[in-house]
Amino acid sequence: MALHSAHDSQIFIIGCGISGIGAAQKLLKHGFHNVHIIEATARSGGRIRTGNLGDNIVEIGANWIHGPSKENPVFRLACDYQLLDKESMSEENQAIEIGGHLLFVPNWFTSSGRKLGPETMEPDLTRCVSGTHTMDDVGLGAFGMYKTLPGLDCTFPGGYEGLIDHMMKELPNDIVLYNKPVKCIHWNYTKNGPDTKGMLFPIMIECVNGETFAADHVIVTVPLGYLKKHQNTLLSPSLPLHKLHSIQRMGFGTNDKIFLEFEQPFWDEDCELIYLVWEDETHLTDVVSDVKISWIRKLIRFTVLKPTERYGHVLCGWIAGRESEYMETLSEFEVLHSVTQLLRLFTGNPTITPRKILRSQWFHDPYSCGSYTYVAKGCSEYDIDNLAEPLPLKGSNSKPLQVLFAGEATHRSFFSTVHGALLSGWREAERLVSHYTPASGSFSSKL
Q: What is the CATH number of the domain that holds 377?
A: 3.50.50.60
C-alpha 10/C-alpha 194 separation (Å) is: 12
- Our CA angle for 311, 53, 163, nearest 5°, is 75
Task: Decide: 187 and 202 in contact? Cβ < 8 Å.
Answer: yes
- Taking CA atoms, 395 is separated from 190, 201, 406, in Å, by 15, 20, 22
Burial group, residue 365, by CB count within 10 angstroms (0-12, 13-18, 19+):
buried
Query: Does 194 reside within a domain?
Result: yes
Query: Does 224 reside within a domain?
Result: yes
Task: Decide: 388 and 153 in contact? Cβ < 8 Å.
Answer: no
- Residue 186 half-sphere exposure toward CB, CA atoms < 13 A: 14
What is the DSSP pairing of strand 182-186 with strand 235-236?
parallel
Tell me, what's the pLDDT at 105? 86
Count Cβ atoms below 10 Å from residue 281 Cβ, excluding itself.
Answer: 9
Tell me, what's the pLDDT at 142? 53
Query: Does 447 reside within a domain?
Result: no
Write out the residue range of the structural domain in which residue 65 sits: 11-435
Predicted TM-score of the model (pTM)? 0.91
C-alpha 373/C-alpha 377 separation (Å) is: 13
**Amino acid letter, residue 262:** F
Written in H, E and C, the secondary structure of the chain is: CCCCCCCCCCEEEECCEHHHHHHHHHHHHCCCCCEEEECCCCCCECCCCEEEECCEEEECCCCCECCCCCCCHHHHHHHHCCCCCHHHHCHHHHHCCCCCCCCCCEEEEECCCCEECCCCCCCCCHHHHHCCCCHHHECCCHHHHCCCCCCCCECCCCCCHHHHHHHHHCCCCCCEECCCCEEEEECCCCCCCCEECCEECCEEEEECCCCEEEECEEEECCCHHHHHHHCCCCEECCCCHHHHHHHHHCEEECEEEEEEECCCCCCCCCCCEEEEECCCHHHHHHHCCCHHHHHHHHCCEEEECCCHHHHCCEEEEEEEHHHHHHHHHCCHHHHHHHHHHHHHHHHCCCCCCCCEEEECCCCCCCCCCCCEEECECCCCHHHHHHHHCCECCCCCCCCCCCEEECCHHHCCCCCCCHHHHHHHHHHHHHHHHHHCCCCCCCCCCCC
Tell me, what's the pLDDT at 117? 77
The dihedral built from the CA positions of residue 336, 341, 345 and 351, taken in this order, carries a sign that is positive
Query: Does 369 reside within a domain?
Result: yes
Tell me, what's the pLDDT at 5? 66
Query: Does 442 reside within a domain?
Result: no
Query: Does 445 reside within a domain?
Result: no
**Number of folded domains that form the chain:** 1
Query: Does 152 reside within a domain?
Result: yes
Tell me, what's the pLDDT at 104? 78
C-alpha 307/C-alpha 198 separation (Å) is: 60
Count Cβ atoms below 10 Å from residue 306 Cβ, excluding itself.
Answer: 14
Query: Does 1 reside within a domain?
Result: no
pLDDT in single tens digits along all 447 residues of the chain = 445 566 689 999 999 999 999 999 999 999 999 999 999 999 999 999 999 998 899 999 999 999 999 999 999 999 999 999 999 999 999 998 866 555 678 899 999 888 887 665 555 474 455 556 555 565 555 556 888 899 999 999 999 999 999 999 999 999 999 999 999 999 999 777 787 777 889 999 999 999 999 999 999 999 999 999 999 999 999 999 999 999 999 999 999 999 999 999 999 999 999 999 988 755 444 445 688 888 999 998 999 998 888 899 999 999 999 999 999 999 999 999 999 999 999 999 999 999 999 999 999 999 999 999 998 988 999 999 999 999 999 888 899 999 999 999 999 999 999 999 999 999 999 999 999 987 645 454 443
